[in-house]
Structure 1
Amino acid sequence: MKTAIHFGTAALVLLFGLTISNHAQAQSDHKSYLLAQVDPDEAYDPFTDYSEFDEESDEEADINFFRNGRFFTIGLAGGTRGFSGNMADTYEAAPTFGIFLSYFFDLRLAMSLGFQTGDHAVRFTTNDESVTYTGNVSISSINFDLKYYLNTQNVTRGLADLNPYILGGLGQFYRTYTIAGLDGFSRDSAMGVDIGAGLEIPLMRKKAYLGIQGAYHYVNFSDENKNFIPSGGGTEKLDKNITGDFFSFLAIIGMNF
C-alpha cells in the first residue's frame, strides 16, 4: 500500500515537472515585440506640414497684406509746375498733367511709373541786340520712383487711415523749345533725380483714393550754367546764365486694385 502511494506521488511530481518544462520552452520560443507609441502632436508629414513662411510674423504680414493691402493703383494727376534759380525768371509756372501706375511689393513699399507733361511760356533777352524773344517750352518726363509708406497705426484714430509716403527715384526729362522769330525748334533731353513726399486719403471703402504729392526734380540740361539757347540755325546769347531745376505739386485721383 505504501509502495503504491509513493509511486503515485512520484508520478505527480514527474507530471508537474514536465508541465513546467513545456511552459518554459513555449515562452522561450515566443518572440517579443515592442510597440512604438506615436504622439499625434509630434508627427511630421512633409506634405501637410509644408509652409513657405520661416516665422509666424512673416505669415501674419502676408495675411494682412492680402486682406488690407493693394496690388497696384492707377491714377490721373493734375497740378502745377514751377522753377527755381534763373529758370524762374525765364519760364513761367503753368499747369501740368500726368498718369501714374504703382505696383505694391507689400504694405509699405511700392514702385511707381509715371508720365507727366506741360507747356510753359518763355521769355529771353539777348545781350548783343537787346532783343526779347518769347515762345513756348514743352517739358515731359517719364519717372521711375520708389514709394515708402509710413506706419500710422500708432497715431490718433482719425489719422490712422491716411497713407503718407516719401518717394525717390530717377526720371528722363524731354524739353522742346518753340521760339517766335527763330526758325525751327530745339529739342533736348536729360536724366534727373526725383525727391518728394505725398499723402493718400482712402475713398469708396478703400477702392479709390485722393492724393496730394510734391516733388523736386533735379535736372541738368545741356544749357545749364550757360548764357545761350539753341535755335533752329545756331545759338542765341542771353543776358544771364540759365540755372535752376523745377518742382511740381499734384492732386491725384486713383483706383486701387
Structure 2
Amino acid sequence: MKISIPKLLLIALVMISLPAISQAEEEVHIAQYDDNFDPFVDYSEFEQVTEEEADINFFRNGRFLAIGAMFGYRFFTNILGEIYEGAGAGGVFLSYFFDLRFAIQISYLTGDHRFKIDEAGKEFFGTITVSQTAFDIKYYLNTQNVTRGLASVNPYLIFGLAQVFRTSRFDDADGFARDAATSFHGGLGIEFPMMRNKMFFGLEGTYQYVNFQDESNELVIDDEETGVYPRGDIVKFLGIIGINF
C-alpha cells in the first residue's frame, strides 16, 4: 500500500501540534487558578503575631482600672462670669481601659461659688453650689515616636456629657433654688506616671457648654427684676492624682 507524500506531511503536522496543544491547555488551567478558592488564603500568621504582641504589650504596660481624686479651679464665661466668682472644685473619678488608647470615665465634681448681682441700685449676694456627674471618653495619643524624654507621658483627648446641678442660696433669704441642665464638654489632658506606673499625676483643661433653664432670660429675685440676663459656659482646670490597677 502506497502512502502519498501529502498524507505523510499531514500526519507529521498533527504529531507536532499535539504537544503544543497540551501545553496550552495546561497554561490555561494555571491562569484560571484563583486564590479565592484556597481555604487557607485568609489565614495570616503575621496578623496573629501582631495581635499577640499587642495583647502582651497591654498586659505588661497597660492598665485595666484607675481611681483617684481631682482638684482644681472652675470659672464661668460671659454674663455668668460677671456675677459668679471663680472658685475651687473637687471630686473623684473611675476609669476603665479597653486598651492602651481608649478608656471610659465616670466622675463627680462639686464646688461652691459666691455671686453678686448689682444692677440698677439693687444688690443681691449669695452662694451657688454647682455639682456634676460626667461620663467621658478618653483617647490617649501615641508618644513613642517623639522625643525620648516625652515617651513616658500620656497626653489624651477627653470629651463627654454631664448632668449639672445648680443650687442657689441668698444671704438675706431663707430657702434655696435648684435647677439642672445637661452639658457637653471637651478638652485636653496629660498624665505623668509615678512609682513604676502604679500611680500618676495629671493635668486637665476642659470647656463645658451648658444651657440652664434661665439662659438669656431676665433674672427675677423676690419678684424684683434685676436687669441681668444670665448666659455663659464653664471652664475647668484640674489637677489629678490616680492609682492604676
* TM-score in terms of structure 2 length: 0.78
- Provide the C-alpha distance between the structure 1 equivalents of 2:223 and 2:66, rounded to a whole number of angstroms: 44
- Provide the C-alpha distance between the structure 1 equivalents of 2:239 and 2:112, rounded to a whole number of angstroms: 18
Cross-structure match for 1:74? 67
Cross-structure match for 1:242? 230
- Equivalent residue of 1:121, what SS? strand
Cross-structure match for 1:218? 209
Cross-structure match for 2:177? 186
Which amino acid letter does the alignment assign opposite residue 243 of structure 1?
Answer: R
- Provide the C-alpha distance between the structure 2 equivalents of 1:107 and 1:211, rounded to a whole number of angstroms: 17
Per-residue CA deviations over 1:104-138 (Å, capped at 9, x if unaligned) read 000000001100000000011355xx320000000
Cross-structure match for 1:94? 87
Q: Cα distance, 1:54 vs. partner?
A: 6.6
Q: Cα distance, 1:56 vs. partner?
A: 2.5
- Superposition pairs of residues 36-55 of structure 1, within 5 angstroms: 55=48
- Provide the C-alpha distance between the structure 2 equivalents of 1:247 and 1:85, rounded to a whole number of angstroms: 11
Q: Is the 8 A contact 1:125 1:239 kept in 2?
A: no
- Equivalent residue of 1:154, what SS? coil
Q: Percent identity?
A: 47
- Provide the C-alpha distance between the structure 1 equivalents of 2:225 and 2:132, rounded to a whole number of angstroms: 27
Structure 1 residue ranges without an equivalent (≥5): 1-52
Cross-structure match for 1:3? none
- Superposition pairs of residues 26-41 of structure 1, within 5 angstroms: none
* Count of aligned pairs: 200
Q: Is the 8 A contact 1:176 1:186 kept in 2?
A: yes
Q: Is the 8 A contact 1:228 1:235 kept in 2?
A: no
Shift in alpha-carbon separation, 1:54–1:154, aligned structure 2, 3 A: closer
- Provide the C-alpha distance between the structure 2 equivalents of 1:248 and 1:82, rounded to a whole number of angstroms: 7
- Regions of 4+ moved over 4 Å: none
Q: Is the 8 A contact 2:184 2:208 kept in 1?
A: yes
Computing the radius of gyration from Cα coordinates, the structure with the larger value is 1
- Equivalent residue of 1:55, what SS? helix
Per-residue CA deviations over 1:147-196 (Å, capped at 9, x if unaligned) read 00000000011100000000110100000000122332100001000101
RMSD in angstroms over aligned alpha carbons? 1.5
Q: Is the 8 A contact 1:99 1:116 kept in 2?
A: yes
1:118 aligns with 2:111: yes
- Provide the C-alpha distance between the structure 2 equivalents of 1:115 and 1:173, rounded to a whole number of angstroms: 10
Structure 2 residue ranges without an equivalent (≥5): 1-45
Shift in alpha-carbon separation, 1:65–1:123, aligned structure 2, 3 A: same
Cross-structure match for 2:17? none
